[in-house]
Structure formats: C-alpha cells, structure tokens
C-alpha cells in the first residue's frame, strides 16, 4: 500500500510547487491570493503547522528584483517565534539565487505582515520563489528576573 500513497502524493506536490512560480514581469501586488494548499509550499517545520503563512506572493519586477510578501498567523495557543525565509531558486537544478530571512514573534491568534523588498536580483528565466517557515515556542521569562 505504501507505493500507492507515494504515487498519489506526487501530483499533489507538483501542483503545489507549480503555484510558487511567477510569470516574469508580474509584480507581487497583481497576483491573486493563493489557495491555502499553495500558501505554505516549501519546507515548513511540523512545529509551524499548516495555515501559518497565507497570501504568499513573490515575483520579479520589470528590473529583475524579486520581491515577496505574505501574512504570518499564529494559529496556536501560545506565543511563537517564527523564522520566515523566502528563497529564489533555479528550478532546473535547485541552485539558490537569493535568500531573505527574518524572525517574528507572534502572539496566539495574531498575525503580522511579512515583506521582503529584495529577495534576489535576476532577470534569468526558470526561477521560482519558495517560502519556508519554522517555529519555536517563546521561552517564558525566568522567575525573579526584573521586568523591563
């Protein structure tokens, strides 16, 4: 039964990955929001869970500057520090052309806008932008420590 599950997952993964690439010259602002299954494509740790990154948009402008943005939401019940990374990669060989990464601490039920004005600069064809999210629980302040 295991080979059937693997074969069934291949078209789903291919369709999700296809949603990450952008046509050349279309700025991120004009791209429609992606479906939830496409919004988190990339490597997302199990601790981040599904649905934490939505409205992912990443594309080059007319000058070849790749810009990206998304909404990060803490769907959990405790504060988390999320590391969000956008990577522009060559689809033929997975070579990384550019990467931007930033940490965000988000309270439960809250969301923040993520924006990277420059992920990479390249006018080459065959590139795509991939998001990645990992999460770490926020450590409570040690007891007895002074408050700021």
Q: For 19-73, write each residue's pLDDT tens digit.
A: 444 443 433 332 223 323 233 333 344 445 568 999 999 999 999 999 999 999 9
Pairwise CA distance, residues 111 & 118, whole Å = 22
**pLDDT at site 50:** 62
Q: Whole-model pTM? A: 0.64
- Distance, in Å, from the CA atom of 29 to the CA atom of 126, rounded to the nearest integer, reads 21
- Scan for tokens 């990206």, then name that residue: 68
In whole angstroms, what is the distance from residue 96 CA to residue 69 CA?
Answer: 18
Burial per residue of 75-93, b for 16 or more beta-carbon CB atoms within 10 angstroms, e otherwise: ebeeebebebbbbbbeeee
């Amino acid at each position: 039964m295991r080979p059937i599950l693997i074969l069934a997952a291949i078209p789903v993964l291919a369709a999700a990955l296809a949603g990450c690439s952008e046509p050349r010259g279309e700025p991120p602002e004009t791209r429609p929001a992606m479906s939830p299954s496409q919004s988190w494509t990339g490597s997302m740790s199990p601790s981040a869970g599904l649905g934490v990154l939505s409205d992912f948009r990443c594309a080059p402008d007319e000058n070849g500057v790749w810009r990206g943005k998304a909404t990060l939401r803490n769907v959990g019940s405790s504060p988390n520090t999320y590391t969000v990374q956008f990577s522009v990669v060559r689809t033929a060989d997975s070579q990384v052309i550019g990467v931007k990464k930033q940490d965000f601490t988000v309270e439960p039920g809250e969301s923040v806008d993520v924006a990277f004005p420059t992920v990479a600069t390249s006018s080459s064809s065959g590139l795509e932008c991939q998001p990645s999210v990992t999460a770490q629980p926020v450590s409570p302040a040690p007891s007895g420590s002074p408050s700021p």
